[in-house]
Structure 1
Amino acid sequence: MSSTPPLIKGRGARSNATGRFESRIREAFDDGWTLEDPEPAQLTTVVLPDKAKTIINRNNSPDIGFDRSINPYRGCEHGCIYCFARPNHAYLGLSPGLDFESRLFFKPEAAKLLTAELSKPGYRPRYIQVGADTDPYQPLERRLRVTRQVLEVLQAFRHPFSVITKSNLISRDADILGEMGRAGLARAAISITTLDRRIARSMEPRAATPQRRLDAVRALSEAGCPVTVMFAPVVPGLTDHELEAVLEAAAAHGATSAGYVMLRLPLEIADLFQEWLATDHPDRADRVMSLVRQMRRGKAYTSDWGVRGRGEGPLAELVSARFRAARKRYGLDGPRMEADLTQFRIPPKAGDQMSLF
């Protein structure tokens, strides 16, 4: 097997290892081709419908600020090499590597399922996070509009929600996000991992450029939707030095708050990420992984509640202190908007009798 996997143009993962639940294992081998030879055809993206029976996912994790979420898509064409959702593709009998970013699933009945769930007599509203797993504004959304339809339902029910993305496509829905934001029912989070176009292109090959994400921050802010910028993930030895610059740029474009998450490398992501380092940043690969292990008790990852998103030790504490100082310096430490659950209502259907009150 070649020590340097071949680069697939426009993709983040460098390999396509077999999912961990499969009985047969695929293994790459060196067939003599090199990067100097003509490039093969680009990897084709396959899109299939996901026949979901429900649309609202529930969790009891103490590490995140919501217990309900909606994911319009499975897999993500952005191809971010660090994506924590990659291992989920193994449950589908697919690889968390290239399959994750080229074999995609969408939920065509998402809006219909959501309408049915919100209309149940016993339903009680709580904040819903749209895009907790894969990006709800990946390139597919431009033509499929599943996320747009979900937001339209949430708006009709006056249901509070938040949405997270690294795509400028979210600006398309500024009409909904602005109106709901001004009513205290919506907020947005935009992930900006780096301001370096070269690193962003390599690490997140099909996501929007850093400047386009900042443009989205401004567009949503001007529309009236509160925007949080997530400096996530923080990659020690590669992007951590940009923390203050990202927060400064976010504030200048209208963000009202900020957050960060330290690089997480669970399950297959550890090998995928190290393959990527070896091909794209061989001069920093050893240092980056050494710093990661310093924050993870000598491992590539630790999954303990409370520390998995922050890391441990002196380096993790230094990043945390820098973040708190920068957040305060740039005015991104204001109070978080609380969910207004009082506006929730089931909209009347066609033919319903109008209320006298």
Structure 2
Amino acid sequence: MVDEKRHELAAYLERIDPRRRRARGARSNASGRFETSREEVWDGWDMVEERADFATEVREEAPRSVIVRNQSPDVPFDQSLNPYRGCEHGCIYCFARPTHAYLGLSPGLDFESKLVARPNAAQVLERQLRSKSYVPDVLALGTNTDPYQPIERRYRIMRRILEVLERFQHPVAIVTKGTLIERDIDILQRLAQRGLAQVGVSLTTLDENLSRAMEPRVPLPARRVEMIRRLSAADIPVRVMLAPVVPGLSDHEVERLLAAGAQAGARAASWIMLRLPGEVAPLFEEWLEDAYPARAGKVMARLREMHGGDLYQAAWGKRMRGEGIFAEMIAQRFEAARKRLGLLKTLPELRRDLFEVPLDRDGQMALF
């Protein structure tokens, strides 16, 4: 009897009860690489204890600096800012999931439910921009986790950051799936009129069922297309981003996704192949076996084909696109559709020459 109970509990604990992870992407919550291993032990009672759902929790952080420098040749920016750690959108493919391990949390369900907000990010940013050593360059927002995820409605960190950037006439490039960006169209429009703002909107699929399964708390595809339309109508340059293209699940939609973006007013387009660094690989494979078991073998085989037999290669120049016949075919299809639709490869370069340190809050003029 005891052995039967042990087997029953092991099966129960192998995966998180679906009722506890409603509207979440990850199926499990394994320990992060820097965390003491978690283990649940059956205490001999007949009933398995009821456990709480994975509700969203937010703790606040007060960083001393918020601008992060980048040296990767694979991305088109040198500095970025992330107002949040973790992301409630819950995209199962998110390459940022492993960063939660540095917080002593799981890249699985913790990444989606245990979030960190930086309410003083705008004040810290202003202090850094006032530094005599600061050299103005495009500031990328949303490079790690989405700056317009649901908790932004309460914290309004992005709104305050944009207000600072507008005062300094500082160039900004935003990447998001969150329609909450429409709240800030007024500021973005004024910045865009001076060549200081652009937005990248990520479209992964037009299939609502696939979207809801793969990115459970992201606005549905049609709503994101409408977001492109509203931003474009305000003359804010928009790039439609096929990020990521998932082989065997969404790669057949490349042309339709580009067409949807172009018809909504996007001016440029880009794409990234699915990336599975660190803990993302087992999380994605676990999700795939559960959500699309009939396609799991094909998807994983395609990924290995593009990465020399591995699920991921971290080498610069390879990690974003992969290699081989399939990767090249996607690239050629994308380029053909992009040209046919009149979409640019990149948006026009943002201006850096308008940057100016304004009067301090106490009304004193800057000496330098």
Q: TM-score, normalised by structure 2?
A: 0.91
Deviations 1:165-220 (A, max 9, x none): 01111111111111111210000000000000000000000011101111110111
Once residues 227 and 358 of structure 2 are traced to their aligned partners in structure 1, the CA distance between those partners, rounded to angstroms, is 30
Specify the alignment match of 1:17 in structure 2: 30
1:134 aligns with 2:148: no
The correspondence for 1:349, drawn from 353, 357, 360, is: 360
Report the alpha carbon displacement of residue 41 of structure 1 after superposing the two structures with TM: 5.3
Q: Counterparts in 2 of 1:65-144, with a 5 A limit?
A: 65-144=76-155
SS of the equivalent of 1:164 reads strand
Q: Which residue in the other structure is 1:235 paired with?
A: 246
Counterparts of 1:224 and 1:279, CA distance in 2: 42
Please give the secondary structure, in 2, of the residue aligned with 1:261. strand
**2:262 equivalent among 251, 264, 271:** 251
The separation in 2 between residues aligned to 1:289 and 1:23, in whole angstroms, is 30
Other-structure match for 1:285 = 296
Q: Which moved more, 1:68-77 or 1:170-179?
A: 170-179
Q: Following the alignment from structure 2 to structure 1, what is the Cα–Cα distance between the partners of residues 263 and 236?
A: 16
1:306 match: 317
Query: How far apart, in 2, do the equivalents of 1:166 and 1:63 lie?
Result: 21
Structure showing greater Rg: 2
Give the aligned residue type for 2:33: R
Match of 1:59 in 2: 70
Judged with a 3 Å threshold, the aligned counterparts in structure 2 of structure 1 residues 243 and 93 are, in CA distance, closer, same or farther, namely: same
Following TM superposition, by how much is the alpha carbon of 1:333 offset from its aligned partner in structure 2, in angstroms? 2.0
Q: What corresponds to 1:36 in structure 2?
A: none
Do residues 194 (structure 1) and 205 (structure 2) align?
yes
Report deviation, 1:43.
Answer: 1.6
Name the CA distance, whole Å, in 2 between partners of 1:95 and 1:144. 24
Q: Is residue 185 of structure 2 the alignment partner of residue 174 of structure 1?
A: yes
Higher helix share: 2
SS at match of 1:156: helix
- C-alpha displacement of 1:24: 2.6
- Secondary structure, aligned partner of 2:353: helix
Tell whether the 8 Å contact from 1:87 to 1:269 is kept in structure 2 after alignment: yes
Unaligned runs of at least 5 residues, structure 1:
32-38
Do residues 153 (structure 1) and 164 (structure 2) align? yes
Match of 1:211, as an amino acid?
A
Q: How many angstroms does 1:157 deviate by?
A: 0.4
Range moving further from structure 2, 4-13 or 245-254: 4-13
Q: What is the rounded CA distance, in whole Å, between the counterparts of 2:243 and 2:41 in structure 1?
A: 31
Q: Distance in 2 between matches of 1:12 and 1:282?
A: 16
Aligned to 2:347: 336
What letter corresponds to residue 107 of structure 1 in structure 2? R
Q: CA deviation at 1:28?
A: 9.6
Cα distance between partner residues in 1 of 2:137 and 2:41: 46
Shift in Å, 1:351: 4.9
Cα distance in 1 for partners of 2:249, 2:207 equals 10
Runs of 5+ consecutive residues of structure 2 not aligned to the other structure: 1-9, 45-49
Contact 1:66 1:127 in 2 (8 A): yes
The residue number in structure 1 matching 2:237 is: 226
Contact 1:79–1:206 (8 Å) recurs in 2 = yes
Contact 2:213 2:291 in 1 (8 A): yes
Q: Distance in 1 between matches of 2:274 and 2:303?
A: 8
| Whole-angstrom distance in 1 between the partners of 2:327 and 2:16 | 31
How far is the alpha carbon of 1:111 from its aligned partner? Answer: 0.6
Q: CA deviation at 1:27?
A: 6.5
Distance 1:28 1:196 in 2: 41
| Matching residue's letter, 1:58 | R
TM-score normalised to the size of structure 1? 0.94
Structure 1 residues 208, 40: closer, same or farther in 2, change over 3 A? farther
The Cα offsets for residues 297-342 of structure 1, whole Å up to 9 and x where unpaired, read as 1111111100100000000000000010111111112653112111
Q: CA RMSD in A?
A: 2.2
Q: Report how far residue 268 of structure 1 moved.
A: 0.5
Asked if the contact 2:89–2:112 (Cα under 8 Å) also holds between the matched residues in 1, the reply is yes
Measure the CA separation in 2 of the matches of 1:41 and 1:55. 34
What percentage of residue pairs aligned between the two structures are identical?
Answer: 51
225-234 or 344-353, larger mean C-alpha shift:
344-353
Deviates more, 1:8-17 or 1:340-349: 340-349
- Give me the whole-angstrom Cα distance separating, in 2, the residues matched to 1:145 and 1:307: 36
